């Protein structure tokens, strides 16, 4: 549970009253926490507040990526920008939530940690950062809830969701539906299984080599190329972060180590930092599971040779 100081900072960032006892602060922030995080273009939407609270009300259907406040920018200009974004029509907001998803989020986006742990089943194993649960909305639709440790920074949680949304815009990550910075969780599109589990099922013989198809390899390369287009370095090539959706399409998850691609990153890693970092790491770690991808190695080697010239 956040401290009183953290709660007041969060409320202040949202332009809400910071007076009252801790229980009142929690209630006030919780009532304003449910948001829609549809995968819209950041160029079309303006931020409502600072990076600790990019939350929007259900009717806003949009978002923008974290940004630092410009020197000399006033609170008034931020409010004006926010009002402008709220007036945007839903048809210009990109991929919106369906009416069923909106109704599901009214319930799921405001759950306590205890409620999540008691109501839903764990998906897979507990991770270092937290645990993923499979949640069923009132509509019957399944969602994945990534419940982080209670000590996780609200700002880092918000940024992680933002980076995933940017990737989702490019069709390479699961959609993000909502974030709760009080109880520390993200609700996203449910995927089926990791590429590691899939390959183990396909090649069950102990110690057997597991070759990826050309289509799978090209998809993994495409993911890294589109991450560069999204201006996000995923920065964690663990193969367990490659998952298949219900149609068998590979997606990338976990943006806990992600960062924006800026001039400093480009100077150090060249024009394709995700080939240099993420794909290089993925290829090496896939081999640990005896999953072979020669096209991945070829793409990395070719890029590294070009980079050295």
Least confident of 68-77, 107-116, 218-227, 247-256: 68-77
Using DSSP's 3-state secondary structure scheme, residue 95 falls into strand
Cβ atoms of 176 and 37 closer than 8 Å: yes
Lowest mean pLDDT among 1-15, 53-67, 151-165: 53-67
Residue 27 clears pLDDT 60, i.e. is over it: yes
For 65-89, what is the mean pLDDT?
39
**Where residue 14 falls among pLDDT bands split at 50, 70, 90?**
low
CATH architecture of 193-308: Orthogonal Bundle (1.10)
> When comparing pLDDT for 279 and 65, which is higher?
279
Reported as a single tens digit per residue, the pLDDT across 219-275 is 999 999 999 999 999 999 999 999 999 999 999 999 999 999 999 999 999 999 999
Q: Can you spell out the DSSP letters for 9-36? A: HHHHHTT----S-HHHHHHHHHHTT---
pTM for this predicted structure: 0.71
pLDDT score, position 80: 35
Cα–Cα distance list, 27 to 92, 94, 143, 167, 182 (Å): 32, 31, 25, 32, 10
What percent of the chain lies above the pLDDT cut of 70? 75
**Nearest alpha-carbon partner for 187 in 178, 199, 196, 175:** 178
Residue whose token pair is 């394709």: 272
- What are the extents of the domains in the chain? 33-111+152-188, 193-308
Instruction: Name the average pLDDT for the chain.
Output: 81
């Amino acid at each position: 549970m956040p401290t009183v100081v953290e709660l007041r900072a969060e409320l202040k960032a949202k332009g809400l009253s910071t007076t009252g006892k801790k229980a009142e602060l929690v209630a006030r922030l919780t009532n304003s926490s449910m948001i829609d995080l549809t995968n819209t273009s950041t160029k079309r939407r303006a931020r409502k507040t600072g990076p600790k609270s990019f939350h929007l009300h259900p009717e806003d259907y949009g978002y923008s990526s974290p940004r630092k406040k410009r020197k000399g920018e006033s609170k008034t200009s931020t409010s004006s920008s926010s009002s402008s974004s709220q007036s945007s029509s839903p048809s210009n907001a990109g991929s919106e939530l369906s009416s069923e998803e909106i109704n599901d989020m009214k319930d799921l986006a405001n759950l306590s940690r205890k409620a999540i742990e008691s109501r839903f089943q764990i998906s897979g194993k507990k991770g270092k950062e937290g645990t993923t649960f499979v949640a069923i909305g009132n509509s019957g639709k399944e969602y994945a809830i990534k419940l982080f440790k209670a000590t996780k920074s609200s700002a880092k949680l918000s940024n992680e969701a933002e980076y995933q949304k940017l990737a989702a815009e490019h069709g390479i990550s699961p959609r993000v539906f909502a974030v709760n910075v009080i109880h520390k969780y993200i609700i996203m599109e449910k995927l089926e299984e990791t590429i590691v589990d899939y390959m183990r099922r396909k090649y069950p013989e102990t110690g057997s080599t597991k070759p990826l198809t050309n289509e799978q390899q090209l998809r993994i390369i495409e993911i890294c190329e589109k991450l560069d287009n999204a201006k996000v370095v995923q920065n964690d090539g663990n193969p367990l972060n490659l998952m298949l959706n219900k149609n068998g399409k590979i997606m990338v998850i976990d943006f806990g180590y992600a960062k924006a691609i800026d001039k400093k990153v480009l100077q150090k890693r060249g024009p394709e930092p995700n080939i240099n970092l993420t794909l290089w790491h993925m290829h090496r770690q896939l081999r640990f599971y005896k999953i072979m991808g020669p096209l991945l190695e070829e793409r990395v080697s070719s890029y590294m040779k070009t980079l050295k010239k």
